Amino acid sequence: MSVQRPWAWPLVPLYAAGLWLKTWMRRVGLLSTRRLRWPVVSVGSLSAGGAGKTPVVIALAKLLKDRGWEVDVLTRGYGREGSGVELVMADAEDAARRFGDEPVMIAAYAGVPVWVGADRYEAGQRAQAAARGGWHGLHLLDDGFQHRQLARTLELVLVTAEDLSDTLLPAGNLREGFAALQRADAVVVREDEFEVAGKTLWEMVWAGTPIWTVRRKLVFPSPKNALGAGARPIAFCSIARPDGFAKMLVGAGCDVVDTVFFDDHHLYKMADMDRLLAAAEEMNASGFVTTDKDAVKLTAAMRERLEAVGPLMVVALEVEFVNTYEVMRAIESRIT
């Protein structure tokens, strides 16, 4: 079992009791659930971060859009400085601060409307009102497994091998225990972890619940691919599981000389650029490499500061379902 914060062990029973109380209140009707006119497909996880939900949401949005669905995404926008429900404008000035880094990324890559706000029901209402008027519409609920105030038609849950050895918050990173997987309509695991995670998960879900696999890959900007930041780049990111990004870079042939990690959803400041420049000087670095999630938070002035040392290479993490036909057939059988 992985314990991220041993000092918090005494608080785990209190957290578990709070989960039980919420479940009981929902069962007896003290907590309500609201339903939107369009079907809702939720993409969530057991862990507090790092399961890879955003790339899966983007992949599903593209697939469903290509099949004729009028798709939008409803998301909270963790860490945003804006308020209320808003339509994400990816090209707005300081968009990542206003809407949140992941909503901006989804809007930029998926090419569908993204509505951000703590009240996902109101966001869905706004999305439906702003739609083109067709009835072939669908909401993707980003990070929705624990957001049970909004009814969903299909519940997809991502699980990583790391989750299987984790424990509940606040000692670990699990927001719910494995018994919660019995609410899942399908479980999604990484292809390279299926041998480890897949067999264990069969025992945790209801009989007949499918386990879908996704294939992950890093997409480097052309034409230099992994050498786009030179032979001695420094990698930096502010994601939940940065070690995984660093390992994927090395596996793809990008031999980073140092890594600088910030807290998940960190909003960059010029002082952070000074830290990166100091690391580059110390390591005689040739440039920098970061994720697309981080890139949306860098201002033009920050990029210019870093590029005085060398190229800044932005790498995208893309996923694809190993069996797309099976996934689309299962989803559309539930939402039509």
Please give the average per-residue pLDDT across 313-335, as a whole number: 96
Write out pLDDT tens, residues 140-186: 999 999 999 999 999 999 999 999 999 999 999 999 999 999 999 99
DSSP string, 77-144: -TT-S--S-EE--TTSTTHHHHH-HHHHHHHHHH-S-EEE-S-HHHHHHHHHHHS-S-S-EEEEEET-
Q: 49: closest CA among 101, 87, 113? A: 101
- Predicted TM-score (pTM) of the model is 0.94
Label residue 1 by pLDDT band (50, 70, 90): low
Give the model confidence (pLDDT) of 111-143 as tens digits.
Answer: 999 999 999 999 999 999 998 766 689 999 999
d(CA 76, CA 114): 10
- Report the distance separating Cα 258 and Cα 201, nearest Å: 36
**Separation of alpha carbons 188 and 103, rounded Å:** 21
Residue 2 has pLDDT above 70, yes or no: no
Question: What's the pLDDT at 268?
Answer: 97
Mean pLDDT of 53-80: 96
Domains of the chain: 6-216+320-335 (3.40.50.300), 218-317 (3.40.50)
CA 67 to CA 322: how far, in whole Å? 18
Check whether 282 has a pLDDT greater than 70: yes
d(CA 288, CA 236): 7
The size of the chain, in residues, is: 336
222: pLDDT strictly greater than 80: no
